[in-house]
Amino acid sequence: MTQLPDAEKLCAQLAAELRPRIGPKTAMIGIHTGGAWVAERLHALLGLPEPLGLMDIAFYRDDYHAQGLHHDPKRTKIPFDVNGRELLLIDDVLYSGRTVRAAMNELFDYGRPASIALAVLVDRGGRQLPICAQHCGAQIEVPAGMRLRLKRGADGKLALALEKQGE
């Protein structure tokens, strides 16, 4: 069985790694659902002055209809102008790269940021698109037929879990 790292410790390590790159034009956007949880934690740890942005990218995915995804446009809230911003895009698990591609497509509907840096809690490999994270808490090899999920307990604590695909 694969030993999974502590998600809370990974958040703290990621915040320490991100701290030096925070500047006056930095803003953060988390991708629903797990990426939003990680972004909430990082935003608080880093004390960013700009409010946190959140995105629901389901409609922007190229496999939207095939996956049966449900888009709720009310879940996307970007409470700042993205033009000229140095954006930190936050997700929980980087896998195929399709979620990140969809997020960047949606971001450019809001304006033209100066830069976008991707920070993920975990990179599990298996990319289908040429996308990589600039900041990564951990790299984990996930067994075939399994998926890596971030879960949030009733106490708000984050934890990684392996599940059989399709569950």
pLDDT at 1: 56
The predicted model scores a pTM of 0.91
Comparing C-alpha atoms, which of 157, 145, 26, 11 is closest to residue 88?
26
Instruction: Please report, rounded to a whole number, the percentage of residues in the chain having pLDDT higher than 90.
Output: 84
* Rounded Cα–Cα distance for residues 25 and 107 (Å): 16
Three-state DSSP class for residue 98: helix
Per the model's pLDDT, the better-predicted residue between 3 and 147 turns out to be 147
Rg (CA), the chain: 15
Q: What is the full DSSP assignment across 6-33?
A: PHHHHHHHHHHHHGGG--TTEEEEEETT
